[in-house]
Amino acid sequence: MVHRRAREHQPVEQGYREAHLRPGGKRPHGATGARSVEAHAVADPRVERWNDKRLSLHGEAEMNRRLRAVGFLAQFTVDFFLEYNDRILQEAGGVNAFYVAPMQSSNNVGGNPRAGYMQMMYDIKAGEALIIEVDVPQARYWSAHLMDMWWQTTDYAYHHSSLNGHQARVDADGKVRIVLSIEDPGVPNWLDPVDNSHGIVQWRWYLTDRHPTPVVRSVPLAELGRHLPERTPSVTLAERQLDVQARTAFVRRNYRL
C-alpha cells in the first residue's frame, strides 16, 4: 500500500524532492526567511503484509512443465505463421494477390466468426505502387491494415498504415481504391508500409451481404494519376501530417496513453 504525504508548504531547505516555486517565482504574501514553495505530494512507499501465508514455491517438476510449455508455444507460433504464409502464396498464386480464407476457418485461433478474412503477401519496391481496388458491399464495418511477415501489426498510431470504412474515400463508382507504396503517393487512401518492402495486407469484411475480393495492380508511382479516377483529390504533406496527428491523438485517447 502506498501512502502519500499531505500537500503543504515547506521551506526549500527541508529538502522536498519535487518542490517548485509558485507561478512567477514570487514569495507568498508575508513570507520571510527561507523561500516558501508549494510542494507536490511525494510517494512514501511501504510494504505491508496482508496475511501470514507464505508464497508457495513451485517444485522442479512444475517448473519443468511450464518451461516446456513456453518452448511449445514459441515453436507452435513460428510453425503456424510460416505455414499460413505458405498457404497464402499457394492459394493466391503468388505475391500481390489475395487469398480468401474460408468463413469461420480461423475461429480456433481468435478469428471473428462473423468476419470474412482475406490476406495478401505484398512485395513492392521504391517507385512502385500497388492499387488495391474493390466494390464496397453493404458492410457494417470493413478494414485493411498492414502487418510484417510475423503478423505483427504495422504501427498505425504514428503512420498511415491502416484504413477502414469510416476513413477511406469511396469513388463515385462505388469502388474504393487503396494505394500501397513505400513513398507517400499524395492521395487519400494510402497504406504506409513504414519502409517494409515485404509484408501482409489483412482485409476484413464484418456483417456484410457479400465478400468481394480486391483486385491488385502494380503501376509505376510516377504514373499513378493515370490509373486513378480523374477526380481523385491530392493530399499535401501538411494535410497528411494533420491526419497522422489525429490518428495519434485517437490511439492515445483510446488506450489512455
pLDDT digits (tens, 9 = 90+) for 146-183: 999 999 999 999 999 999 999 999 999 999 999 999 99
User: Which grid cell is 61?
Assistant: 517438476
Range 87-254: architecture per CATH: Sandwich (2.60)
Give the model's confidence band at 28: pLDDT under 50 very low, under 70 low, under 90 confident, else very high: very low
Number of C-beta neighbours around residue 113 at 10 A: 9
State how far the Cα of 236 lies from the Cα of 215, in Å rounded to an integer: 27
Chain-centre distance for alpha carbon 25? 43
What would the mean pLDDT of 121-148 be, rounded to a whole number? 97
pTM above 0.75, yes or no: no
Domain boundaries of the chain, sorted by first residue: 87-254
Strands (DSSP E) found in 13-53: 19-20, 36-39, 43-45
Q: Which of 202, 167, 197 shows the shortest CA–CA distance to 182?
A: 197
Number of C-beta neighbours around residue 146 at 10 A: 24
Instruction: Tell me what pLDDT residue 202 has.
Output: 96
| Phi (first) and psi of residue 20, to 5 degrees | -135, 140
Size (the chain), residues: 257
Whether 8 has a pLDDT exceeding 50, the answer reads: no
Q: Between 209 and 27, whose confidence is greater?
A: 209
Q: Which of 81, 59, 62, 83 shows the shortest CA–CA distance to 70?
A: 62
User: Which grid cell is 153?
Assistant: 501489426
State how far the Cα of 206 lies from the Cα of 213, in Å rounded to an integer: 14
Number of C-beta neighbours around residue 163 at 10 A: 22
The one-character DSSP state at 125 is -
- Helix locations, the chain, DSSP H: 60-92, 237-254
